[in-house]
Amino acid sequence: MPPLEPARLILDANGTPFSEVYGDVYHSVAGGHAQSRHVFLAGNGLPARWRGKKRFVILETGFGLGLNFLATWLEWLNDPLRCAELQFVSVEKHPFRADELASAHAAWPELSSVAAELHRCWPALVPGFHRLELVERRLTLTLGFGEAAQLLSRIETPVDAFYLDGFSPARNPELWSPEICRSLASLAVPGATLATWSVAGQVRRALTAAKFDVDKRPGYAGKRQMLVGRFGPGDVHRHLEVDAHPNAVDG
């Protein structure tokens, strides 16, 4: 894999983290943590869907600032009926360095306890998979640094819920491509759910072609709509684990 180009923490005129590579913000101006809860947690029916299960797996396209992961981690910790084991898999082409993540996360003091642990074990920014074992190994974060299509093709764990959170499809079309959607479908268990803030026609068409049944729901803050979906029963999918070890690098 080629060397990574790390992201830089830049704020726009509203003080919102902004990507100079994609010309887009990392989260809604109205609030990152609240957006994560409304779009990705509620959009996937969480925490209710992980309750009573031995294991629940979430896959995210676009780790970014890690707000979706931190919001999910905190929700899971605070849920007395949580699943015994939570696995979170996420890919990111331009990861931040730990110190810049810490600077960005200071805006959400309610996440400080989990954010500090993430900063402590944040891996070196080298391509491939990095596995972080947290909360006495009951929570696993598997980070894939590099091109999403290549990384997703190497994942074999069955997925219960998808967080689709790349930059705008107009600015980052590769992360919303039919190829990516087919890769997600190949990992989805029957009844797997998805959620995203984007309702772009190309996204809906690609997901529908990949056999996700999608529907529009009220969006977060000023955004009128968001998208949710469910994968119906179909082909038998691969049910193996991600081949990654703690802080190991593939590539």
- With a cut of 80, say whether residue 233 has pLDDT above it: no
Query: Rounded to whole angstroms, how far apart are CA atoms 234 and 251?
Result: 32
Q: What's residue 31's pLDDT?
A: 67
Query: Which stretches within the chain are classed as H helix?
Result: 32-35, 67-77, 98-105, 112-121, 148-152, 178-187, 201-209
Residues 6+ apart with CB under 8 A from 34: 220, 221
**CATH code of the domain covering residue 69:** 3.40.50.150
Give, in order, the Cα–Cα distances in Å from 41 to each of 73, 135, 239.
11, 20, 24
**Which residue, among 10, 63, 68, has the nearest Cα to 40 in the 3D structure?**
68
**Which residue, among 101, 104, 48, has the nearest Cα to 76 in the 3D structure?**
48
| Total number of domains constituting the chain | 1
**Residue 25 in domain:** yes
Cis check for the bond before 3: say yes or no (omega within 30 of 0): no
Do residues 83 and 54 lie in contact, with contact meaning Cβ atoms separated by under 8 Å? yes
Model confidence band, residue 236 (pLDDT cutoffs 50, 70, 90): very low
- With a cut of 90, say whether residue 223 has pLDDT above it: no
**Residue 45 in domain:** yes
Q: What's residue 246's pLDDT?
A: 34
DSSP string, 118-177: HHHHPPPS-SEEEEEEETTTTEEEEEEES-HHHHHTT--S-EEEEEE--S-TTT-GGGGS
Residues 6+ apart with CB under 8 A from 3: 127
Query: Rounded to whole angstroms, how far apart are CA atoms 37 and 70?
Result: 10
Q: What's residue 27's pLDDT?
A: 63
Do residues 33 and 42 lie in contact, with contact meaning Cβ atoms separated by under 8 Å? no
Q: How many CA atoms lie within 13 A of 242 on its CB side?
A: 31
**Residue 243 in domain:** no
Angle at 64 between CA 58 and CA 68, to 5 degrees: 40
**Which residue, among 66, 45, 23, has the nearest Cα to 171 in the 3D structure?**
23
**Residue 40 in domain:** yes
Whole domain around residue 105: which residue ranges? 10-231
Average pLDDT estimate for 103-129: 95
Q: How many CA atoms lie within 13 A of 180 on its CB side?
A: 25
* pLDDT tens track for 134-186: 999 999 999 999 999 999 999 999 999 999 998 778 888 899 999 999 999 99
**Which residue, among 27, 23, 52, has the nearest Cα to 38 in the 3D structure?**
27
Model confidence band, residue 26 (pLDDT cutoffs 50, 70, 90): low
Q: What's residue 1's pLDDT?
A: 63
**Residue 239 in domain:** no
Q: What's residue 239's pLDDT?
A: 34
SS3 11: strand
Higher pLDDT, 70 or 24: 70
**Residue 251 in domain:** no
Do residues 120 and 113 lie in contact, with contact meaning Cβ atoms separated by under 8 Å? no
**Residue 167 in domain:** yes
Average pLDDT estimate for 34-48: 95
Average pLDDT estimate for 225-247: 57
**Residue 218 in domain:** yes
Percentage with pLDDT > 70 across the chain:
87
